[in-house]
Structure 1
Amino acid sequence: MSKQLAHAFRVLPVAAVLAAGTALAPAAHAAPERPAAIQQAVRLAANPYERGPAPTEESITAERGPFDIEEIDVPAGSGEGFNQGTIYAPTDLSQGTFGAIAVSPGFVSPEAWISWYGPRLASQGFVVMTLETNSLLDVPAARGEQLLAALDHLTGESKVSDRVDSSRLAVMGHSMGGGGSLEAAADRPSLQAAIPLAPWNTNYDWADVRVPTMIMAADNDFIAPAGSMAESYFNNLTAAPEKAYLELNNAGHMTFNSPHTTIAKYAIAWMKRFVDDDARYEQFICPAPESGGDIAKYTGTCPTG
């Protein structure tokens, strides 16, 4: 190949190179398989928010994902509208910025009880901040405000602001923190995803939520009963563009405060699908998982775009 032709191939867009490669292939033989680097370039051109390798059942259920992370203490007084917390963030910036998730604990619950979500989610390609609430007695509305304040801190003055894509933000929370995540989703429709975990809230009207929302519950929850709370909230998400309800089998209210493979799997899949717009994770939520094992019940919409 001449230097002129080689230079032309280097400056052509990826799509043109692929087309040229196909055209130059001998008619009697199939075009060669695309090299992995080109496949990745084509994928990222279609979705610039994709982070990490293609998922498998093993990768999504692993205790740690493919990204190395660091843990950063956020002491009291670091920002407005929240108390303190911990940031877990990928250290590899070669793939660009990441979506961010704020996580709140429940009533009279310390940050430590939901800290396991930090490294579990961050190592899959998110910046995560777990919160110590202003007061252990904070009601859901206050927790929702603190979740949004934490996201504002992550995108504003935090030490990892350069790693966060401010257009791709999400919230999670357990119990009253789960109720708070519903409050946050109602207050800020620009959020990309919400995952209330065994949510508790005296408000049942969530018709204003326009954020893709997955509600998780436990079949033996006597604090925030699945049928009268979580499932009712789910049914009232009438304006959410996508929604899902997952009820754990043989589980209680506090199940969400310890590492749990099924909780992590579906939280990762939901966040990846809607925060990163990563259709590679759609396989885990559509078609709906069947009941059995850890899952007592699952229902929801299939992503439409």
Structure 2
Amino acid sequence: MAPPPSTPTDGPSERTPVKLFPSRALMAIFAVLAALAFALAAPAQAAPANPYERGPAPTWASITAETGPFTVASVTVPSGSGPGFNTGTVYFPIDNSQGTFGSVVIMPGFVAPQAEIAWYGPRLASQGFVVMTLDSNALWDFPTDRSNQQLAALTYLTTQSVVKNRIDPKRSAVMGWSMGGGGTLESAASTPSLKAAIALAPWDVINPSSQIKVPTMVFGADGDTVAPVSTFALPAYNELTNVRNKAFVELRNADHFTFAAANTTVAEYSIAWLKRFIDNDTRYNQFLCPIPNDPNTVAFLNTCPL
């Protein structure tokens, strides 16, 4: 007779399969491989935004508006506040939640008081700059003296003024009208660390443009008999041979004193130039290149910004 079948027991027999678990090292390898596969499959992250951008995306309406996106306050700088310059006024954005701002110092012309360039202060500051307008030490100061005063005021503005903490001292520009424009070109020639320069109907006995390495915009006016375009503004532009970024704008139906009163054409291209080169904001390229077909200008010459 065959032997009776064996009686099953509650515990596992010798033939019960044993469950195998991977080692910790093997699990770590799996984790690394999974993470690598995820990283390769994930879309590439966008490059970080320009840290100097200030304000919303610009439009033609925003750069031609009398007031930009920033609310502005001002403070008077009495004569003697710092060495080398006279009375000034500082205009600055109240909101500093977006970080520090670039700065601009503006110099008036021969026998012209600060009042004749005062309109630039709030207009530019409302676009996101700290702006200082000046009186010259003497009304009859020539361009070289005005350049020295402009640079002295810039040093004060960025290192000693009550708004110095709102300013990025590495992002500064100069701007000036008439002999102040001539002084602006001299400032740009002597100070290559500047980010931008704008000369408005410049007048000077010298032409320092060949020494300039700062992005420079030169304005002229077709009816200017004080600083004729063919004698001053256009030669200043043409001699900008050592700078990659330059522009020349000749206003139509304008004269030397057009720059001493609020002017939309002057404002819009000045804003675009300063935003592009002080803030490195390429959103403003569209207003400079391709060269605008602007009925308010006789000529517009430009090397498209890089």
TM range (shorter): 0.7 to 0.9
Q: 190, 206, 214: which is aligned to 2:193?
A: 190
Amino acid at match of 1:287: P
Cross-structure match for 1:298: 300
* Structure 2: distance between partners of 1:92 and 1:205: 38
**Alignment pair present for 1:46 and 2:49:** yes
Structure 2 unpaired stretches of 5+: 1-37
The residue aligned with 2:246 is 243
Does 2:167 correspond to 1:203? no
- Please give the residue correspondences for 1:154-193 in structure 2 after superposition, counting only pairs within 5 Å: 154-193=157-196
Equivalent residues in 2 for 1:90-239 (5 A)?
A: 90-239=93-242
Letter of the 1:185 partner, please give it.
Answer: A
List per-residue Cα deviations over 1:63-114 (Å, max 9, x = no partner).
0000011110000110111011100001111100000000000000000000
- Counterpart of 2:302, as a letter, is G
Secondary structure in structure 2 of the residue aligned to 1:185: helix
CA contact (8 A) 2:186 2:208 kept: no
Q: Output aligned runs, 1:29-44, within 5 Å.
A: none
Query: Which contiguous aligned blocks of 4+ residues in structure 1 show a shift greater than 2 angstroms?
Result: none
| 1:265 maps to 2:268 | yes
Give the Cα separation in 2 of the matches to 1:283 and 1:293: 17
- The normalised TM-score by structure 1 is 0.85
Whole-angstrom CA distance in 2 between matches of 1:52 and 1:145: 32
How large is the RMSD of aligned CA atoms in angstroms? 1.6
Structure 1 unpaired stretches of 5+: 1-18, 25-37
Percent identity, please: 55
CA distance in 2, matches of 1:57, 1:235: 28
Task: Give the AA of the match of 2:111.
Answer: V
Matches within 5 A, 1:14-25: none
Give the aligned residue type for 1:207: S
- Contact 2:189-2:208 at 8 Å conserved across structures: no
> What is the TM-score normalised by the length of structure 2?
0.85
Deviation (angstroms), 1:23? 5.2
Q: CA deviation at 1:205?
A: 3.9
Matched pairs, number: 267
SS at match of 2:217: strand
